Amino acid sequence: MDSVEKGAATSVSNPRGRPSRGRPPKLQRNSRGGQGRGVEKPPHLAALILARGGSKGIPLKNIKHLAGVPLIGWVLRAALDSGVFQSVWVSTDHDEIENVAKQFGAQVHRRSSETSKDSSTSLDAIIEFLNFHNEVDIVGNIQATSPCLHPTDLQKVAEMIREEGYDSVFSVVRRHQFRWSEIQKGDIFPWNRCETKCCGWTVILNQIREVTEPLNLNPAKRPRRQDWDGELYENGSFYFAKRHLIEMGYLQGGKMAYYEMRAEHSVDIDVDIDWPIAEQRVLRYGYFGKEKLKEIKLLVCNIDGCLTNGHIYVSGDQKEIISYDIKDAIGISLLKKSGIEVRLISERACSKQTLSSLKLDCKMEVNVPDKLAVVDEWRKEMGLCWKEVAYLGNEVSDEECLKKAGLSGVPADACSTAQKAVGYICKSNGGRGALREFAEHIFLLMEKVINSCQK
């Protein structure tokens, strides 16, 4: 199913949203000001991603790198590129999360310690945010743990709220799963045979125990998957609600509808899958930005700190000695076999004789004061656009090339300036498999490009 469906409107008398548990704090509504008479402003729709620093499962999970991008970065990219929000916010209590949020272009609300406890609810944090932002009329609460969210989903939900008059819309996914009633421990057998003595006779008793019951199927007529529509489940990706509902303590209610997301886009790292599987799903189905990916034809790699670990050894006769990881050499070989040109660059006056001894068979330029100019010259020489160029760098001198390239990456130990300029941060350090890892990332994305061209 390529297009998603929206559910029929429903009115409920006591509609409590899934993210809220317990009694919410009272909302303090401030008086509005500054609105001219006779001119009605469009309702202010704010995206709000809740991201506490504390996590019982994975420390700082919200900014842990998933497929080379901080987890929260995936939903921030989708929210910002959707173009439907007047403001995009991250509510957090942690400095590192604040820094990542600002790098992606979001505004930050520093939440209080009262709404940052393990016992605090999503609704508590949303109400606190609204207390400080009287201009907001509608909140789109987006879960940071839904990295396959796409801007088109958010655009359609915004239209449902603004144009079709819904008070609340939440995301669901269709599942084809048969459900059965739960049996308490010790009651799993339908019959329990026991013996007892009575007047010298042995009496055999068959005691009836509780049995499981089907909840959504007839076992005698099990439907085939293609003959059954399945059921809708909340997937937790987002909850949109108007301010007056939140004032009453609800995230779901009023004129209410669901929005059905595609199954492949419905990923919840808190519940469904572990991190490595999530990375594979994101690389295949995630949103990578407004501009379509193009097939990579050229990879440029900085030598010091990327191909090597940056360490230089000098022999007794003053000859330079460097080391590299064989995994990276294999990565270069695989790239070349797939038709991708690999070239090496360095701002340092490296020994070409030493580099040639590595037998990587790559064109290289050393002692380069302006890397961007050299890479641009290579690009033009090959008749490529920047979207067809990948760049792996690690230093301040690589920043402009990283920003220009269609695909950009840095080793895990790259400087902070380089890390802020890229779309992919390797798990491996420079000279320790980062180039091979980046090559694998390129292959996965190229598979995505090929699949999109075949559709």
Q: What positions carry a catalytic annotation?
A: 222
**Contact status, residue 259 vs residue 25, Cβ threshold 8 Å:** no
- Measured CA to CA in angstroms, residue 9 lies from 1, 126, 165, 237 at distances of 22, 24, 10, 20
Angstrom distance (rounded) from CA 169 to CA 2: 20
Residue of 409, 411, 412, 438 whose CA lies nearest to 424: 409
- Measured CA to CA in angstroms, residue 143 lies from 257, 295, 348, 455 at distances of 18, 31, 45, 30
Angstrom distance (rounded) from CA 70 to CA 402: 17
**Contact status, residue 426 vs residue 438, Cβ threshold 8 Å:** yes
Please identify which residue in the block is written with the tokens 């317990």.
22
**Contact status, residue 409 vs residue 304, Cβ threshold 8 Å:** no
Residues 6+ apart with CB under 8 A from 361: 336
Angstrom distance (rounded) from CA 13 to CA 33: 32
Burial grade of 362 (CB within 10 A; 0-12, 13-18, 19 or more): buried
Please identify which residue in the block is written with the tokens 């899958």.
273
Residue of 12, 28, 23 whose CA lies nearest to 168: 12
Angle at 140 between CA 134 and CA 144, to 5 degrees: 120
Local structure of 65: helix, strand or coil: strand
